[in-house]
Chains A and B, each alone.
Chain A
Amino acid sequence: DQQVKQNSPSLSVQEGRISILNCDYTNSMFDYFLWYKKYPAEGPTFLISISSIKDKNEDGRFTVFLNKSAKHLSLHIVPSQPGDSAVYFCAASGYLSGNTPLVFGKGTRLSVIA
């Protein structure tokens, strides 16, 4: 039951270029979406989120785009840096308030090459 799908297990990008990570979801009840970054031997670290009433949210080098009609979101990292190399998880939840379980994708491993 893959409600949240990240179809690219890995991505390699040159330093300074744009990284684009993609995520699709199937459950139309999801209305809040998050990206987490995970380094080895650490827990997921929250990166950026977007609610379904928006189509874009930006925080520094990170921008998340949401296309509700396509049930698709993407994370753009510009410019990519070697320290961005990590596994990126897309997650979705039913609503913004607390207590709602997150449903995660399988993750995309980003490698930024110097």
Chain B
Amino acid sequence: EPEVTQTPSHQVTQMGQEVILRCVPISNHLYFYWYRQILGQKVEFLVSFYNNEISEKSEIFDDQFSVERPDGSNFTLKIRSTKLEDSAMYFCASSTGQPQHFGDGTRLSIL
């Protein structure tokens, strides 16, 4: 069964550094998303992406965040200058509608 793949599984970064999280959505999906889950808290929506542009973003998704689909298969989330509070699991998801299908996540640890 096709799946969403995310790399790396764990990323450790110094505060203030840039980080790029990578995702390969399911190949025939048109809608792409990023969510995050801070330890002990809910899974929270960050951003959705369709037709090469952001469709919707949450308050969390500020100017430090950006998304890109650099080619036909990858979907990336960039955090420009990481803060301690960016430490979380970041999940990529894709869909043709509903339901959304999630990857296994990247654990981002900011030191």
Contact = CB atoms under 8 A, between A and B. Distances in A.
What does DSSP make chain B's interface, helix, strand, loop or mixed? strand
B99 A46 contact: yes
Q: How large is the interface on A (under 10, 10 to 19, 20 to 34, 35 or more residues)?
A: 20 to 34
A104 B104 contact: no
A44 B95 CA distance: 14
Given A99-B56, A101-B58, A41 B104 contact: yes
A99 B99 contact: no
What does DSSP make chain A's interface, helix, strand, loop or mixed? loop
B103 A101 contact: no
A54 to B, nearest CB: 14
Nearest to A41: B104
A69 interface: no
A49 B50 contact: no
B45 A102 contact: yes
A104 B36 CA distance: 11
Contact of A89 (B4, B43, B50): B43
B98 A44 contact: no
B44 interface: yes
Nearest to B6: A43
Interface string B95-110: 1111111111100000
Given A98-B30, A99-B48, A103-B45, A43 B97 contact: no
Interface string B73-111: 000000000000000000101011111111111000000
Query: Which of A36, A97, A102, A106 neighbours the largest number of chain B CB atoms within 10 Å of its CB?
Result: A102
Interface in A2-41: 32, 34, 36, 41
Nearest to B44: A104
Contact of A100 (B6, B42, B98): B98
Interface of B: 4, 6, 30-31, 33, 35, 41-45, 48, 50, 55-56, 58, 91, 93, 95-105
Given A93-B98, A100-B48, A106-B41, 18 more contacts: A34-B99, A43-B4, A44-B43, A45-B102, A46-B100, A46-B101, A49-B99, A98-B30, A98-B50, A98-B96, A100-B98, A101-B33, A101-B45, A101-B56, A101-B58, A102-B43, A104-B42, A104-B44
